[in-house]
Structure 1
């Protein structure tokens, strides 16, 4: 165990301090409120109750249906995922490479991304046989399809921007000029350099069969990664690795999500886009699958552990901790049980801690694959949404029922291990109580001796 921990700790430390992964984590956290708000409107427009759906479709305001009007905020948030990321990544990457003007770095990232984007949308008029190109910003690229190129171009363009700043290739303004004006002129040459290099790259792609960088990144990088990341094998391997890290006291999902969350978020955005237009949902594995079906109550799916502990445990240590931890556990917060029971470096709980999430992932994928439970609709719910409610909102009543089934299965898996731990704690408590009673008896025995009555 010690050797294994020594191997994992440096790896986790490297990942947790990597400036690129930290930037990704902070950028997704930065835009998450927008995604959640947009998802709420998508959920309202597609709430899984037939009379409500019919009401929205049949109610009109002017020449628009109520369903289409409610979908507008979602179209301005989730559908612009890559656009927001293009700015957020540049903004959050700046301090990691010594750039103090974070806003300028964000604009460098955003504009560079737009420079690479095709400036037209193909449109086939009704009755025509050939598509025509309409000058526009293609909305297809500002959503999930444009995420990976937003990530790549953000890091590259801001690195160029930072290089020029560090070389002092800037315009120095005289003293007394307002700081905002001075910063603007200071960024002028580095911005120009970044935009020129990115523009040159865009021109080079015109000479290739891909025509533009967006097509290249999507076909060569994003699609293969999403295909690989959207498999049940990838999801299972990632979660086993995350839980091994958790077992050694490292926040495993923080480590894995910095790499895996962008892939899952893009897959969720595709599902939500399909939901909004009434198409079949394309992806079983996505962010909602991971957050709402892989675990309940936090890492290790410890909500099942807490339920079985409350129902069966006899040791005061487990009973009190479980009663205190059950409410946070319902909302996905399980640090009290991870560090208090503890689960960390506890060999008795290591097997179920890995096994329960693995069973959840594989079995959920299977029931969704055969159509027994609907696929997650891509609606971005807060990770603290309690089970049953979350299942109903993203996967209908079948999802809610399946969450209950998984929690019960988790209870059955945890039961023998919790019982073994409970027996161990009962034995330790009994031994501690016996020692205390023995100590008290010895103390009382000595106190009862009348030293004055002893004849010398």
Structure 2
């Protein structure tokens, strides 16, 4: 037995848990929590199909690509569920933001608030896709729903527009600027008319924002926010400091529910791919690989199991945590996690907006970057060979493919180090969940009157 109120665990308990409680009472953060919890089943389903379609066995991927059903390949058909879930994530978030925020704004018609939020997001969405025909030099704008913005790139706008549109809508509702229907009118019809004026005014306000952005160099709010977030990354290059800064920035975005690596990769990935190509050319010419930082360094060593190097977290959860909530989630997430799909753990634990896990979520990737750079710089582990392996390739295997047996061993070392870093933080969260679990059992057994007699703060648990 160990006293969890002493030493480092006690410090975490005293410092982080009050912060978590404060976060738990904030209506904006609660809305985000409930929204991402609601889309968890969608993300899990989409992740499973992504795993099936991208399983890192060449014979399997070739089979999917060469097998046709009707006019489509099996690979394209398997990708449809992922496209309708993960790739359209912002669409669901846009509706659920308004639906969940309505409760905190004391609005009775949550469905109307969800519709307002979704409508506001759609009004701001650039309804075209740029298309350059083969052989042409000029891009054409084709009227369409742009999939690029409907996915993770559009989540940030969905959050902002959801909060602001429901704020405007709720203010009008609370001022009773509504059409009152006489008694006897069916409730559904009455609610529809009562939402008419607030919804119309909100739409006009959002439309004005849309019009104003058409007069800017960005053209729309989506492009503006996306470009604004990329500014700190424009001058980054292939140095360990650049890699560390990119991952620090990306993981802060991840903490707020934004797919950080999608944003940073749009600017940084071309640089990394160029560096990888230089390595591949040098090795082909019989020379030493010149670039330690490259695409393989980032995808295969900076993180294991996805953003935050959450494979280490999953191992810590499986072998060192005891609460039912964490154990069940770990067992559900370990399969996708091995293949670097970590949305279930990001949004299910959750890591998003969870101050208890913020420090290790950022620290583990930075530790991986700095130490991997060091062992490659001194020649202990070979610099990656520039070969692009599928992003779903599991750790150990991927390390062997790009850096030989030394790369595989080093990935194992990073995995263990990540477990050690995550362990005290996840144990802190596990202790809270165990306490909640104990309270729930007492209430279910009808002994809630004895709850006050239990000193949960002095319960000891094994590591």
Matched, 1:261 2:279: no
Q: Give the equivalent residue in structure 2 for 1:113.
A: 121
CA 31–222 in structure 1, closer or farther in 2 if over 3 Å, else same? farther
CA 131–6 in structure 1, closer or farther in 2 if over 3 Å, else same? same
Structure 1: gaps (5+ residues)? 240-255, 275-279, 307-320, 334-353, 380-388, 415-456
Q: Root-mean-square deviation (CA), in Å?
A: 4.9
Q: Give the equivalent residue in structure 1 for 2:306.
A: 288
SS at match of 1:122: strand
Q: Give the equivalent residue in structure 2 for 1:452.
A: none
Structure 2 contact 117–161 (Cα < 8 Å) conserved = yes
Q: Give the equivalent residue in structure 2 for 1:136.
A: 144
SS at match of 1:127: coil
Of the two, which has the highest radius of gyration? 1
CA 259–14 in structure 1, closer or farther in 2 if over 3 Å, else same? farther
* 1:14, distance to aligned residue in structure 2 (A): 2.8
- Give the distance between the partners of 1:200 and 1:356, measured in 2 at CA: 39
Aligned length in residues: 342
SS at match of 1:133: strand
SS at match of 2:216: coil
CA 375–198 in structure 1, closer or farther in 2 if over 3 Å, else same? farther
Structure 2: gaps (5+ residues)? 1-6, 237-241, 271-294, 334-358, 377-382, 423-463
* 1:198, distance to aligned residue in structure 2 (A): 0.2
Residues 199-214 of structure 1: matches in 2 within 5 Å?
199-214=207-222
Structure 1 contact 149–218 (Cα < 8 Å) conserved = no
Structure 2 contact 169–202 (Cα < 8 Å) conserved = yes
CA 401–65 in structure 1, closer or farther in 2 if over 3 Å, else same? farther
Matched, 1:34 2:42: yes
Q: Give the equivalent residue in structure 2 for 1:69.
A: 77
* 1:332, distance to aligned residue in structure 2 (A): 9.3
* 1:139, distance to aligned residue in structure 2 (A): 1.7
SS at match of 2:157: helix
SS at match of 2:142: strand
CA 327–153 in structure 1, closer or farther in 2 if over 3 Å, else same? closer
User: Which of 137, 152, 159 is the aligned partner of 1:151?
Assistant: 159
CA 13–137 in structure 1, closer or farther in 2 if over 3 Å, else same? same
* 1:46, distance to aligned residue in structure 2 (A): 0.9
* 1:92, distance to aligned residue in structure 2 (A): 1.0
* 1:149, distance to aligned residue in structure 2 (A): 1.0
CA offsets 1:136-170 (integer angstroms, 9 cap, x no match): 22222111221111111111001001001100111
* 1:106, distance to aligned residue in structure 2 (A): 0.9
TM-score, with length taken from structure 1: 0.61
- Give the distance between the partners of 1:180 and 1:227, measured in 2 at CA: 55
